[in-house]
């Protein structure tokens, strides 16, 4: 964004409340605002304890991330303020003093936080919906709020062949869903919701569908933007070309194949991936926020990029494995796509057995070749 852009002008003197600021998209939004919209008033960042670290420790660690390198000399603490809380707790786990500050000062909300684990349980997925409910409740009490921006997913309504920029009716209303979750025994939840979930690929997508409908029914009078990104990949340009902070989705497949962990991948060939660079997503969110604040209505934005075959993507990156070798190699790169579940299972069993043999032998010589990929988002 140029210094004289309408978006930069809009964010001047704004006070922003961000959830999910420690995730990939959250980091990029935070970095872009601090780099191009320094005249904003303040950014409140919600953080919870995680992996043995306090919110204060995570907040301090955040700005050591490489994506903030280009603005290293700026005094972040004069603009960014930590709000201790937890999206999984009632009232977002925020103390009353901080709640009062947010109600009084916030003009823009970026609600990005969500558990993106596709294997999460119904109970875990319900936190995404209940968190959205808590955010809406808080937003309604913000006297100076200009816009509420919610980050969903392009697959929230994947039951429809063509997905327009509109809100679709979910199989069950969000309030009814939360009531059922709270009243059912946790062991029975999966069976209870099976009729509603049978056509959804995972609980994460289901929770986003419910959250969108909740926003539609509960944000009357609040200018609201729902942004639906497709499969988010590394940045294309900002702040660093190729930047990412995690190994989710297609990034994990490519990285796993790169260092030799993933040898065989089960998929239907001919299926296309909807990929969109992370910086395109963050820029879309900022632009949608500005536009929605001016339109003062509920607006949906589908943020999708280039469709590409998985096999074509692998063919594109395979030459790079030799051109840019990794220090993390566990085995030579040899990646195969198969449509046969049987061949995939046989291949997995073979490589897993081989890995156990290597571990056993190496342990006898006092060595360990374990390798762990982590992402703190």
Mean pLDDT for each consecutive 10-residue tract of the chain (377 residues)? 80 97 95 94 96 92 91 86 95 96 98 90 93 97 96 92 92 93 83 85 94 95 96 94 88 83 82 91 96 90 88 81 78 82 86 77 66 44
What is the DSSP secondary structure assignment for residue 320, as one 8-state letter? Answer: H
For residue 213, the SS3 value is helix
Closest CA to 238 of 115, 71, 62: 71
Q: What is the pLDDT of residue 2?
A: 56
CA angle 208, 161, 269 (to 5 degrees): 95
Say if residues 37 and 8 touch (Cβ distance below 8 Å).
yes
* Residue 237 vs residues 233, 278, 284: alpha-carbon distances, Å: 12, 9, 14
Q: Which helix (H) or strand (E) holds 351?
A: helix 341-364
Sequence-distant (≥ 6) Cβ neighbours of residue 124 within 8 angstroms: 115, 117, 203
For the domain made up of 6-234+274-306, the CATH class stated in words is: alpha beta
pLDDT value for 199: 84
Q: What are phi and psi of 151, to 5 degrees?
A: -95, 115
CA 14 to chain centre: 24
**How far from 351 is each of 18, 225, 242, 260, 326, CA to CA, in Å?**
43, 46, 30, 11, 21
DSSP 265-311: EE--TTPEEEEEEHHHHHHHHHHHHHHHHHHTSEEEEEE--EEEEHH
Q: Is the peptide bond before 194 cis (omega within 30 degrees of 0)?
A: no
**C-alpha 294: how far from chain center:** 26
SS3 148: strand
Q: How many CB atoms lie within 10 A of CB 169?
A: 10
Cα(42)–Cα(81) distance, integer angstroms: 7
Return d(Cα 36, Cα 234) in angstroms, integer: 21
């Amino acid at each position: 964004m140029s210094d004289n852009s309408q978006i930069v002008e809009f964010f001047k003197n704004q006070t922003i409340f961000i959830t999910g600021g420690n995730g990939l998209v959250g980091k990029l939004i935070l970095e872009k605002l601090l780099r191009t919209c320094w005249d904003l008033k303040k950014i409140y960042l919600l953080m919870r304890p995680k992996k043995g670290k306090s919110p204060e420790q995570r907040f301090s660690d955040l700005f050591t991330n490489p994506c903030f390198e280009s603005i290293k000399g700026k005094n972040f603490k004069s603009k960014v303020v930590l709000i201790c809380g937890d999206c999984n707790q009632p009232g977002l786990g925020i103390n009353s003093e901080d709640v009062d500050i947010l109600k009084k000062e916030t003009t823009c909300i970026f609600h990005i936080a969500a558990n993106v684990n596709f294997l999460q349980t119904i109970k875990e997925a319900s936190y995404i919906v209940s968190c959205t409910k808590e955010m809406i409740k808080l937003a309604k009490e913000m006297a100076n709020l200009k816009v509420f921006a919610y980050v969903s997913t392009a697959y929230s309504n994947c039951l429809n062949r063509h997905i327009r920029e509109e809100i679709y009716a979910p199989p069950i209303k969000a309030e009814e869903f939360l009531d059922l979750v709270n009243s059912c025994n946790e062991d029975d939840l999966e069976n209870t919701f099976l009729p509603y979930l049978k056509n959804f690929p995972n609980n994460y997508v289901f929770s986003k569908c419910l959250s969108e409908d909740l926003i539609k029914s509960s944000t009357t009078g609040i200018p609201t933007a729902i942004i639906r990104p497709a499969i988010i990949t590394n940045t294309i340009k900002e702040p660093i070309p190729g930047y990412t902070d995690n190994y989710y989705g297609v990034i994990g497949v490519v990285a796993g194949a790169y260092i030799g962990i993933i040898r065989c991948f089960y998929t239907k060939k001919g299926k296309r991936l909807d990929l969109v660079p992370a910086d395109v997503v963050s820029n879309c969110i900022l632009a949608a926020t500005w536009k929605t604040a001016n339109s003062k209505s509920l607006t949906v934005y589908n943020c999708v990029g280039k469709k590409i075959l998985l096999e074509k993507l692998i063919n594109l990156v395979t030459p790079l494995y030799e051109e840019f070798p990794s220090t993390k190699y566990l085995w030579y790169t040899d990646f195969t796509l198969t449509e046969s579940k049987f061949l995939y299972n046989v291949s997995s069993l073979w490589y897993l057995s081989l890995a156990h043999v290597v571990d056993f032998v190496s342990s006898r010589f006092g060595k360990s070749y374990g390798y762990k990929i982590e992402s703190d988002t």
